[in-house]
Amino acid sequence: MIEVSTSVLDLSEKDFTHSIYNLETARTDYFHIDVMDGKFVPNDTSKRMLDYATTISHISQLGIDVHLMVNEPEKFIDDYIALSPRILTFQFEPVKNDKQKILNMISDLKENGVRVGIAINPGTDINEIKEYLPYIHVVLVMTVWAGLGGQELIPETVEKVKDLKKYFEENNLDLDIEVDGGVNEKTVKDVVEAGANILVSGSYILNSDDCKIAIGRLKNCL
Ligand code: DX5
Ligand code: ZN
pLDDT at position 222 is: 83
Alpha-carbon distance 40 to 20, whole Å?
A: 28
pLDDT at position 211 is: 97
Q: Which residues lie with the beta carbon below 6 Å from any ligand 1 atom?
A: 7, 9, 32, 34, 67, 69, 144, 146-151, 180-183, 200-204
CATH number at residue 173: 3.20.20.70
- Which atom of ligand 1 is nearest the CA belonging to 151? 14
pLDDT at position 43 is: 97
Alpha-carbon distance 196 to 10, whole Å?
A: 23
Alpha-carbon distance 95 to 202, whole Å?
A: 26
**Number of H helices and number of E strands within the chain?**
8, 8
Give me the number of domains the chain comprises: 1
- Structural domain that includes position 50: 3-219
Query: Long-range pairs for 214-218 at CB < 8 Å and ≥24 separation?
Result: 214/26, 214/185, 215/4, 215/6, 215/26, 215/27, 215/28, 216/27, 217/185, 217/188, 218/2, 218/4, 218/183, 218/185, 218/188
C-alpha dist (Å) from residue 62 to 24, 28, 81: 8, 8, 15
Q: Is this model's pTM higher than 0.75 or not?
A: yes
pLDDT tens, the chain, 222 aa long: 999 999 999 999 999 999 999 999 999 999 999 999 999 999 999 999 999 999 999 999 999 999 999 999 999 999 999 999 999 999 999 999 999 999 999 999 999 999 999 999 999 999 999 999 999 999 999 999 999 999 999 999 999 999 999 999 999 999 999 999 999 999 999 999 999 999 999 999 999 999 999 999 999 998
- Residues facing 33 on adjacent strands: 66
Classified as helix, coil or strand, 187 is coil
* Cβ 161 vs Cβ 179: under 8 Å: yes
pLDDT at position 183 is: 98
Alpha-carbon distance 100 to 193, whole Å?
A: 35
Ligand 2 is an ion; its neighbours by CB within 5 Å are 34, 67, 180
**Counting ligands in written order, which one lies closest to the CA of residue 40?**
1
Neighbouring residues of 37: CB distance < 8 A, sequence distance ≥ 6: 44, 46, 69, 70, 71, 72
- Residues facing 129 on adjacent strands: none
* Cβ 197 vs Cβ 219: under 8 Å: no
- Residues facing 119 on adjacent strands: 91, 140
- 115, containing H or E segment: strand 115-120
